[in-house]
Amino acid sequence: MTSNTTDAKQSTPAASRLILTGPDRSRVDIYRYGAHVTSWIDRTGREQFFLSPLAGYSNGVSIRGGIPVVFPQFAMNGPLPKHGLLRTRVWDVTHQDTSSAIFRITDDDATRKLWPYRFLAELHVTLSDTLTVALHVTNTGDSPFTFTSALHNYFHVDDVSAAAVEGLTGCAYRDKVIDGPAIIDTARAVHIDGETDRVYIDGPREVHITNVAGDRALHIAASGFGDWVVWNPGPELTKQLADMEPEGYRRMLCVEAALVRAPQTLAPGTTWVGTQQLRT
Protein backbone atom coordinates (compact mmCIF):
# COMPACT_ATOMS: atom_id res chain seq x y z
CA MET A 1 0.00 0.00 0.00
CA THR A 2 1.36 3.39 -0.94
CA SER A 3 0.45 6.89 0.18
CA ASN A 4 1.67 10.36 -0.69
CA THR A 5 1.02 11.48 2.92
CA THR A 6 4.08 13.15 4.42
CA ASP A 7 5.03 11.75 7.84
CA ALA A 8 7.31 14.67 8.72
CA LYS A 9 6.67 17.23 11.46
CA GLN A 10 4.94 14.72 13.72
CA SER A 11 6.60 16.24 16.80
CA THR A 12 4.15 19.13 17.11
CA PRO A 13 0.55 18.91 18.39
CA ALA A 14 -0.66 20.77 15.30
CA ALA A 15 0.69 17.96 13.13
CA SER A 16 -0.88 15.12 15.15
CA ARG A 17 -2.66 12.78 12.78
CA LEU A 18 -5.55 10.34 12.96
CA ILE A 19 -5.82 7.29 10.75
CA LEU A 20 -9.16 5.72 9.84
CA THR A 21 -9.49 2.32 8.22
CA GLY A 22 -12.37 0.96 6.19
CA PRO A 23 -13.27 -2.10 4.14
CA ASP A 24 -10.51 -4.00 2.36
CA ARG A 25 -7.41 -1.79 2.12
CA SER A 26 -9.03 1.63 2.44
CA ARG A 27 -7.50 4.24 4.74
CA VAL A 28 -7.84 7.96 5.48
CA ASP A 29 -5.31 10.24 7.19
CA ILE A 30 -6.54 13.42 8.91
CA TYR A 31 -4.52 16.08 10.71
CA ARG A 32 -5.85 18.06 13.65
CA TYR A 33 -4.28 21.08 11.96
CA GLY A 34 -7.18 22.34 9.88
CA ALA A 35 -9.14 19.10 10.43
CA HIS A 36 -7.37 18.39 7.18
CA VAL A 37 -7.82 15.12 5.30
CA THR A 38 -4.51 14.53 3.52
CA SER A 39 -4.78 10.99 2.21
CA TRP A 40 -7.47 8.60 1.02
CA ILE A 41 -6.31 5.20 -0.13
CA ASP A 42 -9.37 3.51 -1.57
CA ARG A 43 -10.31 -0.18 -1.54
CA THR A 44 -8.03 -0.85 -4.53
CA GLY A 45 -5.00 0.51 -2.67
CA ARG A 46 -4.76 3.66 -4.81
CA GLU A 47 -4.09 7.11 -3.39
CA GLN A 48 -6.86 9.48 -4.49
CA PHE A 49 -5.62 12.80 -3.06
CA PHE A 50 -2.75 14.98 -4.13
CA LEU A 51 -0.46 16.19 -1.35
CA SER A 52 2.49 18.41 -2.15
CA PRO A 53 5.79 17.10 -0.74
CA LEU A 54 6.58 20.74 0.11
CA ALA A 55 3.37 21.23 2.15
CA GLY A 56 3.64 22.97 5.53
CA TYR A 57 1.77 21.81 8.64
CA SER A 58 1.84 24.80 10.99
CA ASN A 59 2.60 28.51 11.40
CA GLY A 60 -0.53 29.79 9.72
CA VAL A 61 0.07 28.08 6.36
CA SER A 62 -2.57 25.79 4.89
CA ILE A 63 -1.54 22.26 3.95
CA ARG A 64 -1.21 22.14 0.16
CA GLY A 65 -3.32 19.17 -0.85
CA GLY A 66 -6.01 16.88 0.52
CA ILE A 67 -9.15 18.71 1.66
CA PRO A 68 -8.67 22.20 3.14
CA VAL A 69 -11.84 23.37 4.95
CA VAL A 70 -12.97 26.78 3.68
CA PHE A 71 -15.08 28.92 6.08
CA PRO A 72 -16.45 31.60 6.46
CA GLN A 73 -15.00 33.15 3.30
CA PHE A 74 -14.20 31.58 -0.04
CA ALA A 75 -10.96 32.72 -1.69
CA MET A 76 -10.34 36.47 -1.41
CA ASN A 77 -14.03 37.34 -1.76
CA GLY A 78 -14.14 39.46 1.40
CA PRO A 79 -11.99 41.07 4.09
CA LEU A 80 -10.77 37.88 5.79
CA PRO A 81 -7.62 35.86 5.09
CA LYS A 82 -7.86 33.75 1.94
CA HIS A 83 -10.35 30.89 2.42
CA GLY A 84 -11.29 32.05 5.89
CA LEU A 85 -10.30 31.13 9.41
CA LEU A 86 -10.32 27.36 9.95
CA ARG A 87 -7.79 25.71 7.67
CA THR A 88 -4.80 27.01 9.66
CA ARG A 89 -6.08 26.28 13.18
CA VAL A 90 -5.86 23.19 15.35
CA TRP A 91 -9.19 21.42 15.92
CA ASP A 92 -10.24 19.19 18.81
CA VAL A 93 -11.15 15.55 18.26
CA THR A 94 -14.48 14.75 19.95
CA HIS A 95 -15.01 11.28 18.50
CA GLN A 96 -12.90 8.60 16.89
CA ASP A 97 -13.46 4.94 16.15
CA THR A 98 -11.97 2.66 13.54
CA SER A 99 -13.71 4.22 10.55
CA SER A 100 -15.03 7.64 11.64
CA ALA A 101 -14.00 10.79 13.46
CA ILE A 102 -15.47 14.16 14.43
CA PHE A 103 -13.37 17.31 14.69
CA ARG A 104 -14.62 20.41 16.50
CA ILE A 105 -13.61 24.07 16.68
CA THR A 106 -15.25 27.21 18.06
CA ASP A 107 -14.70 30.93 17.84
CA ASP A 108 -12.17 32.49 20.20
CA ASP A 109 -10.59 35.89 20.80
CA ALA A 110 -8.38 35.55 17.71
CA THR A 111 -11.22 34.68 15.32
CA ARG A 112 -13.52 37.36 16.76
CA LYS A 113 -10.90 40.03 16.07
CA LEU A 114 -11.23 39.15 12.38
CA TRP A 115 -14.88 38.05 12.25
CA PRO A 116 -17.05 39.16 15.19
CA TYR A 117 -19.36 36.14 15.39
CA ARG A 118 -19.74 33.10 17.61
CA PHE A 119 -19.85 29.72 15.93
CA LEU A 120 -19.27 26.01 16.35
CA ALA A 121 -17.88 24.03 13.42
CA GLU A 122 -17.60 20.26 13.21
CA LEU A 123 -16.10 18.11 10.48
CA HIS A 124 -17.50 14.57 10.34
CA VAL A 125 -15.35 12.10 8.40
CA THR A 126 -16.63 8.58 7.72
CA LEU A 127 -14.89 5.86 5.73
CA SER A 128 -16.88 2.94 4.31
CA ASP A 129 -17.01 1.89 0.68
CA THR A 130 -17.17 5.67 0.18
CA LEU A 131 -15.51 8.62 1.90
CA THR A 132 -18.06 11.00 3.40
CA VAL A 133 -16.99 14.43 4.70
CA ALA A 134 -19.61 16.71 6.27
CA LEU A 135 -19.08 20.24 7.57
CA HIS A 136 -21.57 21.30 10.28
CA VAL A 137 -21.71 25.00 11.19
CA THR A 138 -23.83 26.26 14.11
CA ASN A 139 -24.46 29.89 14.99
CA THR A 140 -23.90 30.00 18.76
CA GLY A 141 -24.24 33.77 19.03
CA ASP A 142 -27.11 36.24 19.35
CA SER A 143 -27.10 37.67 15.82
CA PRO A 144 -27.26 36.12 12.34
CA PHE A 145 -24.15 35.78 10.20
CA THR A 146 -23.53 35.14 6.51
CA PHE A 147 -20.77 32.94 5.12
CA THR A 148 -19.39 31.09 2.12
CA SER A 149 -17.66 27.73 2.28
CA ALA A 150 -16.07 24.87 0.37
CA LEU A 151 -14.36 21.52 0.74
CA HIS A 152 -11.28 22.29 -1.35
CA ASN A 153 -10.53 18.81 -2.75
CA TYR A 154 -7.12 18.25 -4.32
CA PHE A 155 -7.37 15.01 -6.30
CA HIS A 156 -4.38 13.08 -7.56
CA VAL A 157 -4.25 12.54 -11.32
CA ASP A 158 -1.55 10.80 -13.32
CA ASP A 159 -1.56 13.58 -15.92
CA VAL A 160 -3.91 16.56 -15.63
CA SER A 161 -3.90 17.07 -19.39
CA ALA A 162 -5.55 13.64 -19.74
CA ALA A 163 -8.12 14.18 -16.97
CA ALA A 164 -11.68 15.43 -17.49
CA VAL A 165 -14.51 16.66 -15.27
CA GLU A 166 -17.91 15.44 -16.44
CA GLY A 167 -21.41 16.50 -15.36
CA LEU A 168 -21.14 20.27 -15.75
CA THR A 169 -22.41 20.58 -19.34
CA GLY A 170 -25.02 23.33 -19.60
CA CYS A 171 -24.02 24.99 -16.33
CA ALA A 172 -23.06 28.65 -16.05
CA TYR A 173 -19.61 29.43 -14.70
CA ARG A 174 -17.46 32.42 -13.94
CA ASP A 175 -13.89 32.22 -15.15
CA LYS A 176 -11.71 33.86 -12.51
CA VAL A 177 -8.64 33.74 -14.75
CA ILE A 178 -10.14 36.16 -17.30
CA ASP A 179 -12.55 37.79 -14.79
CA GLY A 180 -15.35 37.98 -17.31
CA PRO A 181 -19.13 37.52 -17.24
CA ALA A 182 -20.81 34.17 -16.62
CA ILE A 183 -20.46 31.66 -19.47
CA ILE A 184 -22.59 28.62 -20.29
CA ASP A 185 -20.39 25.55 -20.59
CA THR A 186 -21.42 23.67 -23.72
CA ALA A 187 -18.52 21.19 -23.73
CA ARG A 188 -19.11 17.53 -22.92
CA ALA A 189 -16.39 17.69 -20.28
CA VAL A 190 -13.98 20.17 -18.69
CA HIS A 191 -10.38 19.64 -19.82
CA ILE A 192 -7.39 21.40 -18.30
CA ASP A 193 -5.13 23.34 -20.65
CA GLY A 194 -3.19 25.86 -18.59
CA GLU A 195 -4.34 27.79 -15.53
CA THR A 196 -8.01 27.04 -14.79
CA ASP A 197 -10.16 28.67 -12.11
CA ARG A 198 -13.91 28.29 -12.64
CA VAL A 199 -16.86 28.64 -10.28
CA TYR A 200 -19.86 26.71 -11.63
CA ILE A 201 -23.11 28.21 -10.41
CA ASP A 202 -26.01 26.04 -9.23
CA GLY A 203 -24.42 22.90 -10.59
CA PRO A 204 -25.64 19.29 -10.43
CA ARG A 205 -25.46 17.28 -7.24
CA GLU A 206 -22.84 14.91 -8.65
CA VAL A 207 -19.85 15.29 -10.95
CA HIS A 208 -17.20 12.84 -12.12
CA ILE A 209 -13.48 12.96 -12.77
CA THR A 210 -12.26 10.49 -15.36
CA ASN A 211 -8.76 9.12 -15.88
CA VAL A 212 -8.02 9.51 -12.17
CA ALA A 213 -5.22 7.44 -10.61
CA GLY A 214 -4.91 5.06 -13.52
CA ASP A 215 -7.69 5.38 -16.05
CA ARG A 216 -10.51 5.17 -13.52
CA ALA A 217 -13.41 7.39 -12.52
CA LEU A 218 -13.98 9.23 -9.26
CA HIS A 219 -17.49 10.40 -8.36
CA ILE A 220 -18.22 13.40 -6.12
CA ALA A 221 -21.76 13.89 -4.79
CA ALA A 222 -22.65 16.95 -2.72
CA SER A 223 -25.53 18.33 -0.69
CA GLY A 224 -25.79 21.68 1.07
CA PHE A 225 -23.18 23.07 -1.32
CA GLY A 226 -24.81 24.59 -4.41
CA ASP A 227 -21.76 25.29 -6.58
CA TRP A 228 -18.62 23.61 -7.90
CA VAL A 229 -15.10 24.96 -8.31
CA VAL A 230 -12.62 23.53 -10.83
CA TRP A 231 -9.03 24.70 -10.30
CA ASN A 232 -5.54 23.97 -11.50
CA PRO A 233 -2.75 26.56 -11.19
CA GLY A 234 -1.02 25.68 -14.43
CA PRO A 235 2.76 26.06 -14.91
CA GLU A 236 3.10 29.82 -14.47
CA LEU A 237 1.09 30.23 -11.26
CA THR A 238 2.74 27.13 -9.81
CA LYS A 239 6.08 28.93 -10.02
CA GLN A 240 4.70 31.46 -7.52
CA LEU A 241 3.61 28.82 -5.00
CA ALA A 242 6.42 28.09 -2.54
CA ASP A 243 4.77 24.88 -1.34
CA MET A 244 4.42 23.33 -4.81
CA GLU A 245 7.04 21.62 -6.92
CA PRO A 246 7.39 23.15 -10.42
CA GLU A 247 5.69 20.16 -12.06
CA GLY A 248 3.20 19.56 -9.24
CA TYR A 249 0.30 21.03 -11.19
CA ARG A 250 0.51 18.09 -13.59
CA ARG A 251 -0.47 15.64 -10.83
CA MET A 252 -3.41 17.50 -9.26
CA LEU A 253 -6.91 18.66 -10.05
CA CYS A 254 -9.15 20.52 -7.61
CA VAL A 255 -12.87 19.82 -7.94
CA GLU A 256 -14.58 21.41 -4.96
CA ALA A 257 -18.05 21.22 -3.47
CA ALA A 258 -18.67 24.89 -2.74
CA LEU A 259 -21.10 27.51 -1.47
CA VAL A 260 -20.03 30.65 -3.31
CA ARG A 261 -22.70 32.31 -5.44
CA ALA A 262 -25.38 32.73 -2.78
CA PRO A 263 -23.86 33.12 0.71
CA GLN A 264 -25.67 31.29 3.49
CA THR A 265 -27.27 33.32 6.29
CA LEU A 266 -27.49 31.43 9.56
CA ALA A 267 -29.83 32.54 12.34
CA PRO A 268 -28.82 32.22 16.01
CA GLY A 269 -29.14 28.65 17.27
CA THR A 270 -29.41 27.09 13.80
CA THR A 271 -27.08 24.72 11.95
CA TRP A 272 -26.08 24.38 8.31
CA VAL A 273 -24.60 21.15 6.94
CA GLY A 274 -22.62 20.71 3.73
CA THR A 275 -21.74 17.15 2.77
CA GLN A 276 -19.72 15.46 0.07
CA GLN A 277 -19.49 11.76 -0.69
CA LEU A 278 -16.55 10.43 -2.71
CA ARG A 279 -16.47 7.02 -4.37
CA THR A 280 -14.35 5.24 -6.96
The per-residue pLDDT for range 144-184, each reduced to its tens digit, is 999 999 999 999 999 999 999 999 999 999 999 988 889 99
- For the chain, what is the domain count? 1
d(CA 4, CA 53): 8
What confidence category does residue 212 fall into, taking pLDDT thresholds of 50, 70 and 90?
Answer: low
Whether residue 95 is contained in a domain is answered as: yes
d(CA 262, CA 242): 32
For 74-163, strand residue ranges (E) read: 92-96, 100-106, 119-127, 131-139, 145-151, 154-156
What's the pLDDT at 6?
Answer: 38
Task: Please answer whether residues 113 and 85 qualify as being in contact, where contact means their C-beta atoms are separated by less than 8 angstroms.
Answer: no
Whether residue 8 is contained in a domain is answered as: no
- The yes-or-no verdict on residue 2 having pLDDT over 50 is no
Task: Please answer whether residues 40 and 47 qualify as being in contact, where contact means their C-beta atoms are separated by less than 8 angstroms.
Answer: yes
What's the pLDDT at 180?
Answer: 81
Mean pLDDT of 216-221: 92
Whether residue 21 is contained in a domain is answered as: yes
What's the pLDDT at 178?
Answer: 85
Kindly report the CATH number assigned to the domain that includes residue 116: 2.70.98.10
Q: Decide which of 278 and 179 is more confident.
A: 278
Whether residue 6 is contained in a domain is answered as: no
Q: Domain of 271?
A: 13-279
Whether residue 273 is contained in a domain is answered as: yes
Q: What pTM does this model have?
A: 0.93
Whether residue 210 is contained in a domain is answered as: yes
Whether residue 3 is contained in a domain is answered as: no
